[in-house]
Amino acid sequence: NAGVMQNPRHLVRRRGQEARLRCSPMKGHSHVYWYRQLPEEGLKFMVYLQKENIIDESGMPKERFSAEFPKEGPSILRIQQVVRGDSAAYFCASRPGPPTYEQYFGPGTRLTVT
Amino acid sequence: GQQLNQSPQSMFIQEGEDVSMNCTSSSIFNTWLWYKQDPGEGPVLLIALYKAGELTSNGRLTAQFGITRKDSFLNISASIPSDVGIYFCAGRERNYGGSQGNLIFGKGTKLSVKP
């Protein structure tokens, strides 16, 4: 059973460009979470999605950031018009659903904005 | 927002030593999870706790869900070099009406080898 997959692992964008990060959850998992991690910091929740629905986006900036988890295909985190402050590691996690709340993480995408 | 206080921030270990770290919150949690993260990788789940007072082991690792539901502890016995890394606690806060499943993370405990 493959784990959570994320791609690309590394992404370099110039200021003003768009970044698209992809996450394929573990098989059988319908709940996806996106987190952001700065160096020497813990993970900060951004958004929680189920298939075709955003459940909680309270941790995601209102502007430039969006996320989706379509019926078919991976979950996408999109950052438009990137700025240097967007440079971070972005992790996706998935879980199967209640009653378990254990989240399994992908390897992350390291975004560098130049 | 809610933050978890994880301590110590860092510690040096010598092979064979036992290691302890803990996490506290100001509110009640329904779930405590412990993860380990190696450089350049995603966090790997070590132990999950669901009930107050619960004590769970995974090999040389033992974690406890505090009775007050506001803290959790992780112990590593007889440490070995591959235990080096960053350990994160994460909790699911009990809330009413909020979304389920979101985790709040501590800032991590960095384990390094004694020079």
**Local confidence pLDDT in tens for the 114 residues of chain A:** 579 999 999 999 999 999 999 999 999 899 999 999 998 788 999 999 998 899 999 999 999 999 999 999 999 999 999 999 999 999 999 998 777 889 999 999 999 999
- Residue B107 to chain A, least CA–CA distance (Å): 4
Q: What is the DSSP letter of A84?
A: G
CA separation for the pair B61, B76 (Å, rounded)? 5
- Among A74-88, B61-75, B95-109, which is the least confidently predicted range? B95-109
Substitution target from B87, B95, B103 for chain A, most A beta carbons within 10 A: B103
- Residue B98: is its pLDDT beyond 70? no
pLDDT tens digit string along B25-62? Answer: 988 999 999 999 999 999 999 999 999 999 999 999 99
B102/A106 touch (CB, cutoff 8 Å), yes or no: no
C-alpha triplet B16, B40, A51: angle, nearest 5°: 115
Q: What is the pLDDT of residue B96?
A: 44
CA separation for the pair A37, A47 (Å, rounded)? 14
- Residue A15 to chain B, least CA–CA distance (Å): 24
As a whole number of Å, the end-to-end CA separation of chain B is 37
Q: What is the pLDDT of residue B53?
A: 95
Q: Is A20 exposed, middle or buried (0-12, 13-18, 19+ CB in 10 A)?
A: middle
Q: Is B41 exposed, middle or buried (0-12, 13-18, 19+ CB in 10 A)?
A: middle
Distances from the Cα of B107 to the Cαs of B3, B8, B9, B49, B98, in angstroms?
9, 10, 8, 19, 23
